[in-house]
Amino acid sequence: METIKIQGTEDTPKVILDKEKEAMEISGRSLPEDVASFYDPILTWLDEYAQSPNKKTIFNFKLTYFNTASSKLLLDILMKLEEIHEAGHDVLIKWHYPEDDEDMEEAGEEYADIVDVPFEQVPYSL
């Protein structure tokens, strides 16, 4: 399975999807100009990963900002993780947020309410 590594920019998050190293992370800022084309390969990768997931899937979100268009695609990612969980696989979502950023903390709480997947809120200091 191909590994996806996308270097983050001012407008796009860093993405690591590496099944072998059990590394799955989206971090940084997400406000790509064409949100669908940016997230499409990620969703496709998750579809393929769902066919034969690792024993335990831990997906880390370490976003400092995302726009409204990104929020829908992030939910799509969470829904795919929920499907893997519902298929009987061990899935954990870790939502990392700056400890002084109430908006990012609340975003994680809202996502946790929407999807039925073990969800861990992880505050960190900048």
The pLDDT averaged over each successive group of 10 residues in the chain (126 residues) is: 97 98 98 97 98 98 97 98 98 97 97 98 92
Q: Strands (DSSP E) along 1-126, which ranges?
A: 4-6, 14-18, 23-30, 56-66, 90-98, 119-124
Q: Domain limits of the chain?
A: 4-90
pLDDT computed for residue 63 by the predictor: 97
Domain 4-90 has CATH 1.10.760: no
pLDDT computed for residue 25 by the predictor: 98
Hey, what are 40's tokens?
Answer: 């499409």
Beta bridge partners of 119: 93
pTM of the model: 0.96
pLDDT computed for residue 35 by the predictor: 97
pLDDT computed for residue 126 by the predictor: 75
